[in-house]
Amino acid sequence: MLIVEKIGGTTMLKFGNVLQDIILDKGPESQLTHRILVVSAYAGVTNLLLEDKKTGAPGIYQKFILQRGVEKALDRLLEKLIEINAAFESIGLDLKAARAFIEKRISKTKDVLESMAEVLASGYVDRSNILLAAREILASIGEAHAAFNTVNILNNKCIPAVLVDLSGFHDTEFLTIDERIEKAFQSLDLSSGLFVATGYTKGTEGIMREFDRGYSEVTFSKIASEVRADEAVIYKEFHLSSADPAIVGVENAVPVGQTNYDVADQLADIGMEAIHPKASKPLEQLGIHLRIKNAFEPKHPGTLISNDYRGRESRVEIIAGTDRVTVIEIHDSSMVNEVGFDLHLMELLLKYKVSYILKATNANSISMVVWDKELDAGMIQDLKQKYQVVTAREAAVISIIGSNIAKPGVLAKATQVLADNRINIDCVSQSLRQVNIQFVIGRDKYKSAITALNRALCLES
């Protein structure tokens, strides 16, 4: 089998485990061939380069925008990367070679960013394009660093491994992302060893512009599609489970086992990504199965995601959600029987680039749930000028998801569980396809709702 595997950043920091439990623990020697590893930057490195993914705290990219302290920040980054390297000496990393590689990469980055700053200062070019290019260059450093180290360790363990550096740092050829991946793999003999690819791919369209922080999964997906992998595997720090272990406890989070890409999309819609939605589509369209595995339980088969899976018995597979949303309600008495009344509402969402997670309507009201991070005060003001009553309230969304939940009683049982736990439902949504039932509730009830529904629908059913 030809397998493409992606290793996440937190797992990469524990590369000793990756080496023993994922790379070497495959049985026969032949299993060290026909494999492509796509590696992420070590956890925390991309946050230092760009910005903290969770808090938004600025990284080196913000210093470049402000043109303050970029060189010193890159020097501090170099110290951090050398410190990370030191942790891998005991498992075979050649510290001298690893240091030389990352010093050269950062030195070249300084030169390029300095040149870009001079071009910016000239005032003759579009500022946004230069800034986006700088963001691309910075993003590529972390993956190149991790991929080089990985190959160096493997080679020093007498494992034939080849670096496929898709960052194109020294390549002046103008290629799209797809073209670069195709060119990199078209002449490789995948039976000759293990191949390690950077999670970042340079392309004329800019992978950061197109996919932002989901770029490593996009690279992984495009590689799997290019080589027509038999299976694509993502190693995470946890199983794809019935509910978030951090909320319900590890002992109450049941691995899903099998599901389909439709369910994966439902998860992505509420920010609980098994895989970035734009990364899953090529795999789905080509019929490539995706397996989500816990990197620290490598013997466990994980969860297999395929096109055609539908549970033989109706059951809820996942309880998921988010408490980082706002519900906006438009109430207007002129709405009833008015064809196309919400057209202007949709045009406003388009204007402010806001997508909604859920939409519920009645004769005189439309309720929509949107991400807090996308909420714009200007949009609320525009809505208030157009409609009679506009209400915006902090909220949480709970999703009951499964490949086969189209049976009487699921909705009734879920609402009863919430009622028994004194949790009021503000809005509810379910489409004809019946793979996802969504409830809007008070934000303060989010964790208790997840816990109660997981216990009743996933553990006791």
Distance (Å, rounded) from C-alpha 453 to C-alpha 277? 25
**Quick one: average pLDDT of 136-141?**
96
Where does a domain end: 237, 272, 294?
237
The verdict on 88 and 226 lying in the same domain is yes
Q: If you write DSSP's letter for every residue of 101-129 in order, what string do you get?
A: HHHHHHHHHHHHHHHHHHHHHHT-S-HHH
Residue 27 domain-assigned (yes or no): yes
The verdict on 217 and 340 lying in the same domain is no
**Quick one: average pLDDT of 440-448?**
97
What pLDDT score does 29 carry? 45
Given a cut of 70, is residue 11 above it in pLDDT? yes
The verdict on 9 and 135 lying in the same domain is yes
The pair phi, psi for residue 365, each rounded to 5°, is -140, 150
Where does a domain end: 206, 221, 237?
237
Residue 164 domain-assigned (yes or no): yes
Considering only CA atoms, which of 415, 381, 453, 372 is closest in space to residue 56? 372
The verdict on 38 and 186 lying in the same domain is yes
What pLDDT score does 26 carry? 56
Distance (Å, rounded) from C-alpha 174 to C-alpha 162? 24
Beta partners for 255?
241
Distance (Å, rounded) from C-alpha 135 to C-alpha 52? 14
Given a cut of 90, is residue 319 above it in pLDDT? yes
**Banded model confidence at residue 54, pLDDT cuts 50, 70, 90:** confident
* Contact yes or no for 28/36 (Cβ under 8 A): no
In terms of DSSP bridges, do strands 365-371 and 3-7 run parallel, antiparallel, or are they unpaired? unpaired
Distance (Å, rounded) from C-alpha 136 to C-alpha 77? 17
- Mean pLDDT across the chain: 93
**Quick one: average pLDDT of 415-423?**
97
Given a cut of 90, is residue 253 above it in pLDDT? yes
Residue 275 domain-assigned (yes or no): no
**Banded model confidence at residue 460, pLDDT cuts 50, 70, 90:** confident
The verdict on 83 and 176 lying in the same domain is yes
What pLDDT score does 126 carry? 83
Percent share of the chain, pLDDT over 90: 79
Given a cut of 70, is residue 30 above it in pLDDT? no
Task: Measure CA of the first residue to CA of the last residue in the chain; give whole Å.
Answer: 36
Domain range for 397 is 318-459
Residue 41 domain-assigned (yes or no): yes
**Quick one: average pLDDT of 31-42?**
90
Given a cut of 80, is residue 179 above it in pLDDT? yes
The verdict on 119 and 30 lying in the same domain is yes
**CATH number assigned to the domain comprising residue 204:** 3.40.1160.10
Distance (Å, rounded) from C-alpha 283 to C-alpha 277? 10
* Contact yes or no for 369/392 (Cβ under 8 A): no
Instruction: Name residues whose C-beta falls within 8 Å of residue 28's C-beta, 6 or more positions apart in sequence.
Output: none
What's the Cα-to-Cα distance from 237 to each of 143, 280, 301, 341, 371, rounded to whole Å? 18, 19, 14, 46, 25
What pLDDT score does 28 carry? 44
What's the Cα-to-Cα distance from 138 to each of 60, 75, 156, 413, rounded to whole Å? 8, 13, 28, 50
Distance (Å, rounded) from C-alpha 267 to C-alpha 216? 19
Q: Which of 44-53, 209-218, 268-277 has the highest mean pLDDT?
A: 44-53
The verdict on 79 and 203 lying in the same domain is yes
What pLDDT score does 137 carry? 95
Where does a domain end: 204, 220, 237?
237
What pLDDT score does 312 carry? 86
Q: What is the pTM of this model?
A: 0.89
Q: Kindly state the DSSP code that residue 455 receives in the 8-state scheme.
A: I
**Quick one: average pLDDT of 245-267?**
93
Burial call 35-45: b when 16+ CB within 10 Å, e when fewer:
bbbbbbbbbbb
Residue 267 domain-assigned (yes or no): no
Distance (Å, rounded) from C-alpha 222 to C-alpha 36? 12
Given a cut of 70, is residue 177 above it in pLDDT? yes
The verdict on 107 and 9 lying in the same domain is yes
**Quick one: average pLDDT of 211-221?**
91
**Quick one: average pLDDT of 343-355?**
92
The verdict on 8 and 151 lying in the same domain is yes
**CATH number assigned to the domain comprising residue 335:** 3.30.2130.10
**Quick one: average pLDDT of 308-314?**
88
**Banded model confidence at residue 212, pLDDT cuts 50, 70, 90:** confident
The pair phi, psi for residue 360, each rounded to 5°, is -130, 140
In the chain, how many domains are there? Answer: 2
277 membership: H or E segment, kind and range: helix 277-286
Residue 382 domain-assigned (yes or no): yes
Given a cut of 50, is residue 434 above it in pLDDT? yes
The verdict on 15 and 131 lying in the same domain is yes
Residue 445 domain-assigned (yes or no): yes
Given a cut of 70, is residue 48 above it in pLDDT? yes
The verdict on 115 and 14 lying in the same domain is yes
Where is pLDDT greater, at 75 or 187? 75
Residue 322 domain-assigned (yes or no): yes
